[in-house]
Amino acid sequence: MNLSQKQLGINAGLAPSVASPRMNQYETGKHHPDHQFAVRICEVLDVPVAYLYCEDDDLADIIATFPKLPDQGKKKILSLVETHLKASPLP
């Protein structure tokens, strides 16, 4: 989104003097935001909270994109996943 850590932190409600170091600590895993602040970060980034906690890049892309689809598109994606699971059951 072309936001610096500082600007992301400020947009999420942090004071400018602490925004950059605090966001850096979150990004590097030194500290973790509480749920309420994670929600504010996600509002700025326009992604669901689950996006922040996803360890798989492809799944993260799906999580970020899915809410932006029209309802019909969401239904098609869910149907495709269900069809694929039926054709290739998990071990």
Q: Does residue 70 share a domain with residue 41?
A: no
Q: Verify that 23 and 1 share a domain, yes or no.
A: yes
What is the radius of gyration, based on Cα positions, of the chain?
Answer: 17
Give me the torsion for CA of 75, 80, 84, 85, rounded to 10°.
-10
> Among residues 44, 81, 43, which one has the least CA distance to residue 62?
81
pTM (2 decimals)?
A: 0.82
Q: Can you give the pLDDT of all 91 residues of the chain as single tens digits? A: 899 999 999 999 999 999 999 999 999 999 999 999 999 999 999 999 999 999 999 999 999 999 999 999 999 999 999 999 888 877 7
> Are 71 and 91 in the same domain?
yes
Output the pLDDT for position 26.
95
What's the domain count of the chain? Answer: 2
